[in-house]
Structures are given as C-alpha cells and as structure tokens.
Structure 1
Amino acid sequence: MIRIQQVKLPIEHSEDDLRDKAAELLKVTKEQIKSLSIFRKSIDARKKDDIMFIYALDVELYNDIKISKRNNNISVVEPFIYEIEVSGEKLINKRPVIVGSGPAGLFCALLLAEKGYNPIVIERGKKVKDRIKDIEKFWKDGTLNESSNIQFGEGGAGTFSDGKLNTLIKDRSKRGKRVLEEFVEAGAPSEILYVNKPHIGTDLLRDVIVNIRKKVIDLGGTFRFEECVTDICAKDDNLYRIITENDIIDTDILVLAIGHSARDTFEMLNKKVKIEPKPFAIGVRIEHPQSMIDEGQYGELAGHPNLGPADYKFVHKCKNGRSVYSFCMCPGGMVTGSSSEKGGVVTNGMSFYDRDLENANSAVVVTVNPQDFGGDDALAGIEFQRKLEQKAFEIGGCNYRAPVQLYKDFVDKKASNSFGNIYPTYRPGSTFANLWDCLPDFVCESLVEGISAFGTWLKGFDRPDSVLTGVETRTSSPVRIVREEDMQSNIKGIYPCGEGSGYAGGIMSAAIDGLKVAEFIIKTYKPMEKINSKK
C-alpha cells in the first residue's frame, strides 16, 4: 500500500479529482490505480479566501513502482491489523467483572468477550432507552434520578455529548483505529475513520452504544443494569469478591471503569485502594451564534455545505499562571443540565450529528490543582466540586435552573437583567445571577482574561451578549486510582481503568484504555474452558 500525504484540493472537488491527483503525484495513469481510500482528511482554513481540504490517501496499484526516498510525502505502509493473542497462563475460576458501561468498560468487555472470558458488566444506571426518559423528565421539570442521568447509565456521560472521537494521546498500538472500526460496524458513519476531527453526535451514538452491548452479549458477556457495587472484599491484598446492592459476586478480576462522577464509589474505594487527588478544570459554558463561529473560521465561505459547522479550540496562559482553555466544543448544539446529586447544578454540552442548532457552545475552564481544594484528603477535589455545584444550585433558584450571565456583566461583576441576541439553551431553564458568587475569584479573573484573549483570535468571542452558564465542574476525574505497571491497584485483581479512574479524558482515550486493560488481563489469564450456565 502506498500512502500519499499532503494532497491539497479545493473544497468543491469531486471524487475523480482525488484519483487524478493521486495519479499525478505517483506519476502513473488513473488506470494503474487498483484502489484508493482516504486515510485522513482535514481542513486548511488559514487563508479564508482559499480554503482547502488536505488528504492522506492510501493507494494500491496494479503494478509496483519505485518510491523515491527524497519525497517524504509518499511512502509504503503496511495494512492496519489489530490482533491480540491469548497468552495468559494463570487460570481464573470466576468470570471477570467490569464496573461501568462507558467507553472504557464497553471496549474492555468487548475484547474480553471476543477472547472467551465471558465478562459481567455492572452498570448503576439504566439502558439508553430508559435513561433518555429520565433525562428528558429532569430537563422538563427538574425531577432528578440520581442513578439515571447525563452522568450515569449505558454508554456513560459521553452518550449525551457531541460524540467527539479525537484524542491527543499517541496511538502507536493502533487501538484507536480498532475503536473507530468498531463504532462504524455498530452504525457510526464511515467518515469517522478518516476525518481529522471525527464525531458521531448524541443521536447516532445512542444506537451505536446499544449495538456494541448486543455484540458483547452475543459473544458471551452479560450486562446487569441498575445495580451498583457497594463493597469489595480482599484477602492478603488479593481480590476475591464484590458486593452489589442486589448480590454477592465471587471474582478474581474487577475492572473499575467507573465514571468521573461516581462519588459514592470513590468514597468506598478510598478505604480499600490507593487513591490520590489530581488536577482538573472548572468554569462555565459559553454560547455564541453558530453563524458567528462559521464566519470567524471560514470567512465568506461560511455555511458552505462541504465545510459544515465550524469549531474552535483555544488555550491562554494567564498572568496568574493559570491556563484557560476551551473544552468539549459543541457546534450547533445545546448546553445540558447534567446533575447527578440532589442540590447541585452541573452543566455539559451536547450536539446531534448534523450540528444544526442555532448556538455553538463550549466549556471555558481554568485549571485547578490539589492545593486549591482546601484539604489533604484524596477526595478533597470531590468536595471542592460539590460546593461549587451547590452554590450554583442556590443562586439559580434551588430548582436546578442554572445561573446565567452576559459576558459584559460578568466582567463588571453584576447580575444581568436581560439578554442580547443570544439566548441560553440550558434545560431545565436559567436564572440571571452573578457567577462570581459561585466560582472562586481566581477562576473568574482567569475567565475574563481568557475570553478576552480568545476574542483576539476569533472575532466576536468576547462579544458583550455572549451567554455564560454555570457551572462546569466535571471536566475530568478529580482523583486517580493508583495502578502499577501491571495495570493493577495495590489490591491484586483490581484494574483501575478509563476516565473515572484518572487514566483517560474523553470517549476515545477511555475506549483505548479499556482495550489496554483487557490486553493485560489476556496476557495474564487463560480464559475459562467453559462458563457453566454463565453464573
């Protein structure tokens, strides 16, 4: 296979133009090309009057040609193969248990099921179909189900997000490619295999997650919904049992693929395994017209159907040493009520696949460190989050309505009394308030500086009527469950995994970590010969 990098074409090119360009660069005729596929596709919008698509193309020819070593953009590559051999020698007597059905838990379960380990997946929340009803009820009238919400349930928090699949981690093992292929097999659009910033959208992701669950079941796995782990039992630092609300399960292997909001589980685990606080970020959601973002990024070509809705990603280092950055940007999306505890307001962002709603939103957040938490306990970050969420609940009216403020009034530290041309999308609703009353001063000061800086990079980002909605506190886990080189905690048999355990930050990195943990289990243990009646 020959890979051609840096293939540039105008945004209105045809499929034939791709083949013509590949033939030109390889100095062959189009007829010599046996197959052509897109390996990567991105947008170069640095010149607003000359926006281009940039491709990496994989080409197979009928006849071999000599590749010049002087051209770094043309090379021979090997086809992608992800294959894990079962090589473990240690016998397991009980089925492995995975706690959490988010991306980490799902992909760990999928690989284990494929290799004959018949995993049990325990999820405190409900299946997607029932979870949707609980979330809609909360958005409608503020009735919160603490076990079935944006944070808890089938697919994890990412199920109700933009469904972004990009990641900053290096993926030399090609696990990420495997994850994307599984998503496509489960119903995601095939373009996620090659676009630079892939996303599925919450509407499509809900079906994809269900299809992966069904595949795991077909391969011998079991899912137990609406069941929460309440205790773990170990002897001589070796796991032998877990206890749930409904059952006692003997097992040698427990994968902790819990979400970053599983606070009661963290409290239980803190008495059993080594946990340490970790940095995360807090702030607000900011909303602008999507048309403004499009114009800022694409100029006169804004709205072109081949470009789609524009996004952004900004980072600013403040004078106080803090970093301010945009996070989880949702083009054409909405801000969502994402509480999981009574008496607290939490925001998140969500987009459908078409990203066709009026507003763009993203979190704008400020880094916080364990020194900011006001305590030395491993769970001090959780309490830090909780206090901010409770304060937002209070100033929002104690009914899960979120406090909102226009940017110009946020700068002036006064509550707003009317909207400009941008209206908040947050459900269950919003209340004018002063966000300085529910966020630390250093966070607010950093947000003012950061949003002002972002406005120099994207015209209108700091417009006076930009709507800020508080609070964004669940950017990543506030703790890390310590694991050794063998992926286990201080209690052998317990494998911390994914975002909640502190080893991932999004759908892709969590899914990749799930595969990574499954690989270690496969390299250590033999699958059981047969699971008697799948107990």
Structure 2
Amino acid sequence: MLEVSGIRIPLSALDGTDKRELSACRRALARKLRVGEKDLTRVERRRRSIDARRRDGIQLTFTLRAELAGGDSAEQALLARLAKKHAGKNVRLVTEGTYGFPSPASRGTRPRPVVVGAGCAGLFCALSLARAGLEPLLVERGDDATRRGKIVRVHNETGALDPESNIQFGVGGAGTFSDGKLQTGTKSPAHHLILETFVAAGAQREILWDAKPHVGSDVLPCVVTEIVHQIEEAGGEVRCRCRMTDVDLIDGAVRGVTLLTTRDDGSVFEERVATDCVVLCCGHSARDVFELLHERGVPMERKTFAMGVRIEHLQADIDRALYGGAAGNPALGAAPYSLSCHLPSGRSAFSFCMCPGGYVVSAASEPGGVCTNGMSLSDRAGINANSGLLANVFPDDLPGDDVIAGVELQRTCERTAFEAGGGDYVAPAQLVGDFLQGVASTGAGRVTPTYPRGVAWGDVTPCLPPYVAETLRAAIPVLGRKLHGFDATDAVLTGVETRSSSPVRVTRGDDGQSVGVRGLWPVGEGAGYAGGIMSAATDGILAAEKIVATYAQR
C-alpha cells in the first residue's frame, strides 16, 4: 500500500459532503501519482487538516493511502519511478498496522485485577485485560452513562448535586461531557487502535483521519456504554455506584480493596475484595482517593497544574478571525483555536479544551463549590465558542510541604466562586474589558453566557490566586494580537476552571507500579500521567500490557 502525504485540495473543490471530498482526494491522488483514477483500487484518508494560513486561499491537506491495480509489484514499480521527484518525502510503501490489544494470558490461581475508575484510562485498561482473559473487575463510583446524563440534567435545571455521580464521576469519566476531543500531542502506536475502538463502538468514522478529531458529548454516552458491553462480553465485570473506600497494604504490597456499593433500592453493601493487582484510574477529581492514598503512605508528589476561567466569544467572530471570507463554509465547520504566550514575569497562559460551537458547563463534584468546564455536541452548532483560559500553578506556589495542598487550593477557589455567585451553583462572570480594567461587570454585551445555572455579574479576580489573575490579565492582550478579537471587551469570563489536570502524581517506577507499593498501578490523568482522552486511554492500554506480562510470568 502506498501512503502519500501533502495532498492539497482547495476549499473551492469541496462542499462539506463526504462523497465530494473522497472524490476530490481520488482525483488529486491520481494526478500526484501520474496514474489513472481507475488504477486506484482503494483510497482511504489517513489524515486531514485545514491550512488557513492564507485566508484567501484556504486548503485542506490530506495524507492518503492507496492500493494500485496490479498489487505490490505495481506499487513498487511506481514508487521507483517517483523516487527521483519525491525523494521518499511524500510517497512511501506502508503495511497495515498490526498493533492490537495484549495477547491472552492465564490468570491461574491469582485473583482477578481490580480497575478503579471507568474513565478512558479505566475503560481501555479493563477492555485490554478482559480480552487477555484476566476477567477484571471495573468499579466506578458514578452511574452508567444513561443515568448519569439524567442526573447532570437535573443539576443543570435545579442545582441539586449528586457528589457520587455528576460531570466528573460516572462511566466515561470527565471526558464524556467535555466534547470528546481526541487530538493529542503524544505519539503512540496505540492511537489508531483507540480510534478504531471508538468507531466500532459508534463514533463517527471521520475521527480516523481528522487532525483534530472529536466525538461530541451527545454521542459519547452511547460510545462508552458500548465499550462497557465489550468489557462484559470479554469476561470482565463492571459495577457502577461502587466506590473504593480502602486499600489493604501488607508488607509494601496490595492485598485487597474495600468497596462500597449503593444498590438501586438505596441500600449500601460493603465488601472486601482480595486482589494483588489494583489499577488506579480514579481521575483528577477523586480527591478522597488522594487523601486515602496519602493516609496509607503511598508515595505521591506535587505536580504542576493549571487554573483560570472559561472565556466565551461568538463563534462567528472566531470563524472570521481564522477563516476570513470563507467563514461558514460547510467544509470547514466551526473554527477551533489553540493559543499560548510566555510573559516577561516568567509565567505563561494558554487556552485549554477549546470547544467550538460549544457550551460552558457546571463541573462541580463537591457541595458548595463552583467549577466550570466546556463541551460541544457532535455538530458544534452552538452560537458561542468557549475555552479554558488558564495559568500554571507550580509546586513552589503552594504553601508548606503537604503533598495534596493543590487540592485544597482548588477547593478554596471553588468555594469562593460559589459564594461570589450567590449560591445554588450560579457562577461569577465578568466581561473581558472590565477584567482588564479591574472593575466589576453589571451585565452582558453581545455574548450571552451559556453556563446552565446562570451567572452573577461581578469580578472574578477574588476567586483566583493573585498570580493566576495577574497572569491572565497580562496575557489577554497578547493573545488578542495572536487571534483578532480574543481580547474583545464583551467576551465573557466565567469562573472558575480548576480541574484541567490533577494537582498530584502517584509516583510509579519504570515497571508501571507504585514506587512504594507492589501491585498498585497508578494510571491516567488522575494519577498524573495523562492529559486528555487519548493519552489516558493509551496509558490504560500500556498498563494492561505490563499487567498481562506479570500474570504470564507467574
């Protein structure tokens, strides 16, 4: 199979339909290879990105794979003819990827592994272990995706918060309600396997080739539900409303966990499950788990995390800033952005989890605290664009030597935001122009906030650590020079965003296990080793590979 990169197709040749795009790709590839279209027996997209550096000449750039009539010999002959012109830079021979889930292993007399947390790290780790025949038990403190969706809607409409099942906790983890963005800055052969698994579970096929793939918060609940079914069909067990309340450690090794399960009738059942393998995929908001591990003497360390606010603009303004006169073209969709700047103070600010055509959401998981996040539906058709606008919090910014001091800082800011909003999970909000001038806001301009519990206009500054507020205030004009209109005076800041990543890392060794506890495997975003759906899922698969190897050795 031939892989050809750098295929450029002008926007004028596309109309936003898949049929037109694939036809244009086939024609462009035939021209590139100097063959007839009929000679291409198979063409597939491997990557698609938008090149908008020239707004009067926007193009889509593709990497394509193709098979030629005549098979491998014809492809090799063609490659030899093109070698001089392309010098191996744009055209190469490739084989189909062979990376897969871990090979089967025998559990023997060992107890089954317990995976704690059904976010993307936990789901993919449990799926890998189940397909390897190890019959994992996956426990999730929150609800399945269907019940969880109803609970989130009740919170949005009434303010009632379930601390065990919410936007942070439940099957799919926090990623289920944050657009399902699948781009990643990491590289791993597992990435395509993860995307294929999502597609097989019901996600759109375009995620296999989009440079910035996303699923959408309306589709993800069905996708993660299907992955749960796959785990069960492969021999695993999945329990919802089941929280780990203790971990038994004897002589520096795991010997079991205590689980608290809430049944459908409201009754509570506690049990101890014997195991020598606990995979910790608890997510970045499982603060009680961090506190438990700290009490049990599990080695942990502070890590850099970020805090700030959500910033909202009209999506039409972002589209025009990035695409010029082509804004609104169906082949482009809602424009995303990614911004960062390094300031003279030595601090940096950056956008995070940008949601084109999206909505700011209430991401609280503890009573009396306001926390925001963002999401988009699969069509990204909302009026506003939103993004986290964040600044780093470094370990040295925290007082004392308490390893979980970052958790307390998050809580303090969330409680201050709750009070600033007047309670009932209303969020404090301020216009960018007023924030830059240091004055409280009294109402909206052109941008209507989308936060579902409503906003209280005022000043978001007291809700943030002073160094974070100062960094954001200095950064907004700089970012406005990078993206026209980012510093628009009527853009809306909604506070606070505190859960972009975990403030702690559960330290692990090269073998993937806790440096101080055998059989404890810290994995994913909550353990401090991932930063999004793709990296968390990858970490889950890689951990499963190492775990399977330990079972095979014994």
TM-score (norm 2): 0.93
The alpha carbon displacement at 1:91 in A equals 4.7
Residue matched to 1:441? 466
- Describe the SS at the equivalent of 1:376: coil
| 1:363-374 matched pairs, under 5 angstroms | 363-374=388-399
The residue that corresponds to 2:263 in the other structure is: none
- Cα gap change, 1:184 to 1:207, in 2 (>3 Å): same
Distance apart, 1:355 and its partner CA:
0.5
Match in the other structure for 2:209 = 194
Q: Distance in 1 between matches of 2:284 and 2:235?
A: 28
CA positional deviation for 1:524: 1.4
Q: Is the 8 A contact 1:90 1:525 kept in 2?
A: yes
The one-letter code sitting in structure 1 at the alignment partner of 2:245 is T
Q: Does 1:520 align with 2:535?
A: no
State the distance in 2 between where 1:86 and 1:456 align: 52
- 1:31-59 per-residue CA deviation (whole Å, 9 max, x = no partner) reads 22111100101000000011001000101
Higher relative contact order (CA 8 A, sep 6+): 1
Gaps of 5+ in 1: 529-535
| Count of matched residue positions in the alignment of Structure 1 and Structure 2 | 526
Give 1:21's aligned residue.
Answer: 28
The answer to whether the 8 Å contact 2:119/2:172 transfers is yes
Could you tell me which amino acid in structure 2 is paired with residue 444 of structure 1?
A
Pick from 103, 120, 132 the counterpart of residue 103 of structure 1: 120
Residue from 48, 52, 77 that aligns with 2:55: 48
Distance 1:512 1:432 in 2: 41
One of 508, 519, 522 as aligned partner of 2:534: 508
Question: Deviation per CA, 1:405-449, whole angstroms, max 9, x where unpaired?
Answer: 011111122211121111111121110121111112221121122
Matched, 1:212 2:230: no
Matched, 1:462 2:487: yes
The alignment yields a C-alpha RMSD, in angstroms, of 1.5
Secondary structure of 2:218's aligned partner: helix
Distance 1:397 1:285 in 2: 19
- Does residue 234 of structure 1 match 2:249? yes
Question: Could you list the per-position Cα deviations for residues 352-404 of structure 1 after superposition, in whole angstroms to 9, with x for gaps in the alignment?
Answer: 00011111000000011011121211101101111111111111112210000
1:498 & 1:361 partners in 2: Cα distance? 25
1:147 to 150, 158, 164: 164
Report the more deviating stretch, 442-451 or 120-129: 442-451
Where do 1:104-183 residues align within 5 Å?
Answer: 104-171=121-188, 174-183=189-198
What corresponds to 1:305 in structure 2? Answer: 330
Mapped pair 1:267 → 2:291: yes
Report 1:51-90 matches (<5 A): 51-63=58-70, 64=74, 65-67=77-79, 68=83, 70-84=87-101, 86=103
Over residues 212-253 of structure 1, what are the superposed CA-to-partner deviations in whole Å (9 max), with x where a residue is unaligned?
A: 001111111111111111111122212111111221100111
Change (3 A) 1:102 1:84: closer
Residue in 2 that maps onto 1:317: 342
Is 1:87–1:523's contact at 8 Å kept on the other side of the alignment?
A: no
Residue number among 423, 427, 442 corresponding to 2:452 in the alignment: 427
The answer on whether the counterparts of 1:115 and 1:527 sit within 8 Å (CA) in structure 2 is no
Look up the match of 1:496.
522
Which has the higher mean CA deviation after the structures are superposed, 263-272 or 308-317? 263-272
Q: Shift in Å at residue 276 of structure 1?
A: 0.6
Q: For residue 5 of structure 1, what is the amino acid of its counterpart?
A: S
SS of 1:247's partner is: strand
Instruction: Tell me what 1:254 maps to.
Output: 278
* Structure 2 equivalent of residue 10 of structure 1: 10
Runs of 4+ aligned structure 1 residues displaced above 6 Å come to 87-90
Percent identity of the aligned residues? 45
Greater mean deviation of Cα atoms: 130-139 or 252-261: 130-139
Does the 8 A contact of 2:104 with 2:133 survive in 1?
no
Structure 2 spans left out of the alignment, 5+ residues: 15-19, 261-269
Q: Distance in 2 between matches of 1:507 and 1:261?
A: 15
Q: TM-score, normalised by structure 1?
A: 0.96
Matches within 5 A, 1:473-488: 473-488=498-513
Contact between 2:102 and 2:131, CA under 8 Å: does it hold in 1?
no
